[in-house]
């Protein structure tokens, strides 16, 4: 998936400097870009850049995003790194960041998508 953030900020050097500056100032936080899958019918988030505590779990991040999107209980949200690896459960974002951060600019890129649970259309 091509992230809008990268398209809107094509200079990888500036993106890298920005993520490094944030990590220096807030070493206990992780810079994350979260965008909607373009094929998803779910709402867009009001922002895409997040700075989250590194001990936050994937489960809590999903909870926060669900609240921001005001999803109904029937809707399930899936969050993917690398466009294919689902994040969930008690995995810390620090572990996810260490394994999946963008090697060029230092951000963690996550895409979210949703589908209705229970087979509703």
What are the structure tokens assigned to 74, written together? Answer: 């029937």
Q: Where are the beta strands (DSSP E) in the chain?
A: 29-36, 49-53, 75-81, 85-86, 108-116
Q: What is the pLDDT along the chain (121 residues), one digit of tens a residue?
A: 789 999 999 999 999 999 999 999 999 999 999 999 988 889 999 999 999 999 999 999 999 999 999 988 888 899 999 878 899 899 999 999 999 999 999 999 999 997 633 344 4
Domain hosting 45: range is 4-112
- Which H/E stretch holds residue 111? strand 108-116
CB 65 within 8 A of CB 58: no
For residue 119, being part of any structural domain is answered with no
For residue 118, being part of any structural domain is answered with no
Residue identified by tokens 């900020």 is 9
For residue 43, being part of any structural domain is answered with yes
Please, what sign has the CA dihedral across residues 61, 94, 4, 120?
negative
For residue 20, being part of any structural domain is answered with yes
Indicate yes or no: pTM above 0.75: yes
The CATH number that applies at residue 22 is 3.10.20.90
For residue 74, being part of any structural domain is answered with yes
CB 71 within 8 A of CB 114: yes
For residue 121, being part of any structural domain is answered with no
Please tell me whether residue 75 adopts helix, strand or coil conformation. strand
The Cα 61–Cα 63 span in angstroms is 5
DSSP state of 92: B
Q: Which of 7, 41, 2, 32 is nearest to 106 (CA)?
A: 32
Q: How many domains does the chain have?
A: 1
């Amino acid at each position: 998936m091509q992230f809008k953030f990268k398209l809107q900020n094509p200079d990888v050097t500036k993106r890298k400097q920005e993520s490094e500056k944030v990590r220096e100032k807030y070493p206990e936080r992780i810079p994350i870009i979260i965008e909607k899958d373009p094929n998803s019918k779910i709402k867009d988030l009001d922002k895409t850049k997040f700075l989250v505590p590194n001990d936050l779990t994937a489960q809590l991040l999903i909870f926060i995003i669900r609240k921001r999107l005001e999803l109904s209980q029937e809707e399930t949200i899936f969050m993917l790194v690398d466009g294919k690896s689902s994040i969930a459960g008690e995995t810390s974002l620090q572990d996810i960041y260490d394994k999946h951060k963008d090697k060029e600019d230092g951000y963690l890129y996550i895409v979210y998508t949703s589908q209705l649970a229970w087979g509703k259309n």
